[in-house]
A and B are shown apart, each in its own frame.
Chain A
Amino acid sequence: MSSSAPPADRPVFTGLGVLSAFGPGLAPLAAAATRGGTGFAEVTRFDVGRRGTRRAALLADPPPLADAVLGAVADAGRQAELPPGAPLLLALHSDLQTREVARRVSEGAAALGLAGVHRVYTGACVAAATAVADAAVLVGSGRYPRVVVAAGHLVEPGVFAAFDAGRALARDGALRPFSAGRSGTLLGDAAVAVVVEAADAAAARGARPLARLAGWGRSGDAHHVCRPRPDGAGVARAVRSALARAGVVPAGVDYVNANGTGSPMSDLAEARALREVFGAALATLPVSSSKSVHGHALEASALLELAVTIGALGGGGLPVNAGWLGPDPEVELHLVLPEGRTDDRTDDRTDDRTEDSAEGRTEDRGENSAGGRAADLPGTRPRCALSLNSAFGGANTALLVAAA
């Protein structure tokens, strides 16, 4: 049972900044996600000659990590017309550079008018979602009118080699969430920031919310160091907590941006969790993992996927589940597939970076509104969407966002 406490003041998002393999801004990322044009290419940033997998979704010429994060923070602050003094919650990978990057981000944030870094989250793939949930509690309780949450991860040789040695990376160089033949994940660059603001505070200053953070939930599997609990019970508890906090029934969810790393075990556990929560309604609930397009950004992944999910609320179309080869009979999800894809394995062209996305150009969103098997989908403008993440240690998070 969850005793998820609804906040006194509902949080909303009033600013969003993102840098992904598709360049700066939400528009090129959202366009790639709805079209299924993935950002994966051969890694040239460092030597991958001894690695089993050699692909990732990387920026061609990334700035230093602290600068990338500060760029996203500046963009989010500009969009929100952010008043001074907001604290910054920062998600970073735990490594030999963490403290120095945090120090540089804190200095840069102060120069942007923020109160500096309030806390650094290092909890792997749920780090940024944990920070968003904490931000919601902080503004919901009235402690701060607004909090900035930022995260950054640029793929480096050590992490790449460790994931490769752990056989976590897709051997065929394609990230295929929930698909038959999936063999692992692929890494991606990202720096993302959001402004989480109390709805009343936003209204008082005339700020227009991008979306509402309707609910959030956190849970642990209590199962294993790195394997997910096979029945997905931990994920299901996080989802139920988010729904309860929002006062939303499962039927009120229009789209799920799943964790979907492409891992054979993890994807299956997540599918079982969704079955547990949504039951028969899962047959018509659109699900995809946008990781299939932008890659797995580790500590920044939850914020990157939240950005994609907020973009979907804007009506540009649902993010597709790229890399799909065919159904896994144990998964049984209503996946949002790239336009024209069917249940055959004859057309696997989704793992090539397209010219448009590589150049970061904005797509005509009208062309993408039929993304996925549109005829089967209830609509391409969800009103309420879940973004899910899971991590080592059995950590699970669920963020429920709703149209403002």
Chain B
Amino acid sequence: MSPLRTLAAAHWPPGEPPPPLPGFAASIFNPLVAAVAERCLAAHYGEPGAPGAPSGPGESGESGEPRRTGLLLASAGGDRATALAIDTAAAGHRMPPLLFFQSNPNAVLGHVAARWQLTGPVVAISPLEAAAPGELPPDALESAALLLADGDADQVLVITAELAERTERPAGEPGAAGGTGHATAVLVTAG
């Protein structure tokens, strides 16, 4: 596989709560992913929506065309808070409909893709080992290199997000709305 070249990078450090993400509940996982993606994409593309910002090497298409940017979310732990909320609700009397929409990790990537008009592949993986804050798991970078080598994307936004253990509480229980986690996003292209 070709080496990767980093176009932009962003971190969401542990302890800094991400802004709420409308349409997502019970877990900070999805707000975390959206927030770090926003930071990284803004650093390279500028404004969301139609392309037109930096047109440097590795940039896709002409102004006005969607970006052939893939999205790859890697999380060893996944959104355990949502998974726990779903299991808890299933055993109870009412399942909040929003939990259906966030029941898989692709959903928040759809939010990011729509906001930034990213039309590349949408991929979610679960590395066997979590990355330390500020780092990306090697599995994620290898996956991104595969996507770029395959040719359906010109760039890939690689995001890793991990919840801290204490966020794994179902909605309505103390600590569920808060909690912490960390996330890192890197926009890469073929080197």
User: Which A residues lie at the B interface, using CB under 8 A?
Assistant: 2-5, 50, 92-96, 98-99, 102, 117, 119-124, 126-127, 130, 133-134, 137-138, 141, 143, 157-168, 217-226, 234, 237, 241, 245, 391-395
Central interface residue in A99, A122, A223, A234, by most chain B CB within 10 Å: A122
Cα distance A225–B115 in the bound complex, in angstroms: 10
Central interface residue in B70, B78, B127, by most chain A CB within 10 Å: B78
Contact status A219-B121, CB under 8 Å: yes
Contact status A99-B86, CB under 8 Å: no
**Is B17's beta carbon under 8 Å from chain A?**
no
Contact status A392-B106, CB under 8 Å: yes
Chain B contacts of A120 at CB under 8 A?
A: 125-128
Contact status B1-A141, CB under 8 Å: yes
User: Which B residues lie at the A interface, using CB under 8 A?
Assistant: 1, 23, 66, 70-71, 75-80, 83-84, 86-87, 89-91, 93-97, 99-101, 103-111, 113-114, 116-128, 139, 143, 146-147, 149-152
Chain B contacts of A393 at CB under 8 A?
A: 71, 104, 106-110, 113, 122
Chain B contacts of A158 at CB under 8 A?
A: 83, 86-87, 89-90
Name the contact of B71 in the complex, choosing from A217, A220, A226 (C-beta under 8 A): A220
User: What 3 A-B pairs come out closest when comparing CB atoms?
Assistant: A166-B100, A393-B106, A393-B110
Using a Cβ cutoff of 8 Å, how many contacts connect chains A and B?
202
Chain B contacts of A218 at CB under 8 A?
A: 70, 120-123, 147, 150, 152
11 sample A-B contacts, Cβ–Cβ < 8 Å, listed by A number = A5-B150, A121-B126, A134-B146, A143-B1, A158-B90, A165-B96, A220-B71, A237-B119, A245-B151, A391-B104, A393-B109
Chain B contacts of A237 at CB under 8 A?
A: 119
Q: Name the distance in Å between A168's Cβ and chain B's nearest Cβ.
A: 6
Contact status A225-B78, CB under 8 Å: no
Chain A contacts of B79 at CB under 8 A?
A: 94
Chain A contacts of B90 at CB under 8 A?
A: 157-158, 160-162
Chain B contacts of A160 at CB under 8 A?
A: 90
Cα distance A158–B110 in the bound complex, in angstroms: 23
Cα distance A96–B125 in the bound complex, in angstroms: 15
Cα distance A222–B23 in the bound complex, in angstroms: 17
Chain B contacts of A2 at CB under 8 A?
A: 151-152
- B110 — nearest CB in chain A belongs to which residue? A393
Chain A contacts of B126 at CB under 8 A?
A: 92, 94, 98-99, 102, 120-122
Name the contact of A165 in the complex, choosing from B78, B99, B118, B150 (C-beta under 8 A): B99
Chain A contacts of B113 at CB under 8 A?
A: 220-223, 393-394
Say yes or no: A220-B150 contact (C-beta < 8 A), given A226-B101, A394-B114: no
Chain A contacts of B149 at CB under 8 A?
A: 5, 137, 141
Q: Name the distance in Å between A292's Cβ and chain B's nearest Cβ.
A: 22
Q: Name the distance in Å between B160's Cβ and chain A's nearest Cβ.
A: 13
Chain B contacts of A166 at CB under 8 A?
A: 97, 99-101, 103
Contact status A96-B84, CB under 8 Å: yes
Chain A contacts of B139 at CB under 8 A?
A: 119
- B66 — nearest CB in chain A belongs to which residue? A222
